[in-house]
């Protein structure tokens, strides 16, 4: 514990000079401030989600289910806030956005290292996105570490194994069979069943966020290409299929 400095103020503690000094629009257009604030807020919430996920993954490693659920529930609430914040951004009209879009150059949400780390920490480990980060940079090193360390998905598989489910080399079929066993006798495997439903909540909410992103993008730039070089809305629509726990979605058909 560090001693509380005498006379420390609200602004000191929250480093508001730094925080509120970091909104620097490149144009003189009114709406660019909203664009910056929305994205900075998103990065702060991503930071908090990664912090909670780190805790949850560690707790699952010791079968500490209840505190892990607590952290995952908090992730879920943050996801709700992030999904709702699209409603604020959709007050940005196409014409007002296009007036400052050129100042963004080739920068794009594609390059959000924290968003990619979130996918990796959940278990959506698509290494092809590393190409956006030059080797040796802090962002690249963080992402490589996230790829190497156990994700929430992998931590859940280890918990299944400790409970006696044989998931062998972690093939899709073995994982599906194990979760199916949990769902068919949910009373016996109550901790794992509750865990699975928390994992569904997180995957569901991420897909919901992605869906609102596509709708907002269609509403603001229609079918234009993205500044990051993708096809735009069609690319984003294709990411709706990405799931950290596809077996949990698929088993619904088998119950």
Ligand X SMILES: N[C@@H](CC(=O)c1ccccc1NC=O)C(=O)O
- Interaction site with ligand X (CB under 6 A): 39, 101, 104, 107-109, 221, 226-228
> Which segments of the chain does DSSP mark as H helices, in order?
10-13, 16-20, 32-60, 65-84, 86-89, 94-101, 113-122, 138-148, 152-162, 172-184, 190-221, 233-238, 246-250
- Regarding 226 and contact with ligand HEM (CB under 6 A), the answer is yes
Q: Give the nearer residue to ligand X in terms of CB position, either 170 or 222.
A: 222
Any residues with CB less than 8 A from the CB of 80 and at least 6 apart, and which? 205
Binding mask 64-103 for ligand HEM (x = CB under 6 A): -------------------------x-------x------
Site for ligand HEM in 11-40 (CB under 6 A): 38-39
Burial zone of 135 (CB within 10 Å; 0-12 exposed, 13-18 middle, 19+ buried): exposed
Residue 168 binding partner per list ligand HEM, ligand X, none, with a CB distance cut-off of 5 to 8 Å that depends on partner kind: none
Of residues 244, 73, 224, 83, the one with CA closest to residue 153: 244
Binding site for ligand HEM (CB under 6 A): 38-39, 42, 89, 97, 108-110, 112, 115, 213, 217, 220-221, 226-230, 232, 235-236, 239
Give the residue ranges of the annotated binding site.
35-39, 97, 101, 213, 227
């Amino acid at each position: 514990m560090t001693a509380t400095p005498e006379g420390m103020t609200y602004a000191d503690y929250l480093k508001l000079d730094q925080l509120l000094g970091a909104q620097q629009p490149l144009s003189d257009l009114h709406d660019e401030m909203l664009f910056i604030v929305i994205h900075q807020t998103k990065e702060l919430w991503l930071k908090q989600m990664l912090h909670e996920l780190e805790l949850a993954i560690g707790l699952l490693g010791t079968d500490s289910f209840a505190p892990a659920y607590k952290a995952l529930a908090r992730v879920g609430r943050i996801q709700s806030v992030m999904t709702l914040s699209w409603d604020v951004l959709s007050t940005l009209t196409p014409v007002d956005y296009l007036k400052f879009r050129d100042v963004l150059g080739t920068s794009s949400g594609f390059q959000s290292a924290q968003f990619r780390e979130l996918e990796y920490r959940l278990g959506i480990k698509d290494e092809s996105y590393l190409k956006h980060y030059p080797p040796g940079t802090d962002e690249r090193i963080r992402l490589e570490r996230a790829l190497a360390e156990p994700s929430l998905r992998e931590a859940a598989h280890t918990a299944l194994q400790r409970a006696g489910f044989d998931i062998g080399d972690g093939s899709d079929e073995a994982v599906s069979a194990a979760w199916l066993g949990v769902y068919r006798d949910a009373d016996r495997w109550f901790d794992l069943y509750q865990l699975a439903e928390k994992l569904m909540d997180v995957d569901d909410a991420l897909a919901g966020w992605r869906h609102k992103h596509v709708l907002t993008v269609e509403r603001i730039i229609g079918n234009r290409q993205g500044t990051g070089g993708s096809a735009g809305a069609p690319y984003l629509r294709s990411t709706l299929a990405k799931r950290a726990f596809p077996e949990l979605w698929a088993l619904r058909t088998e119950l």
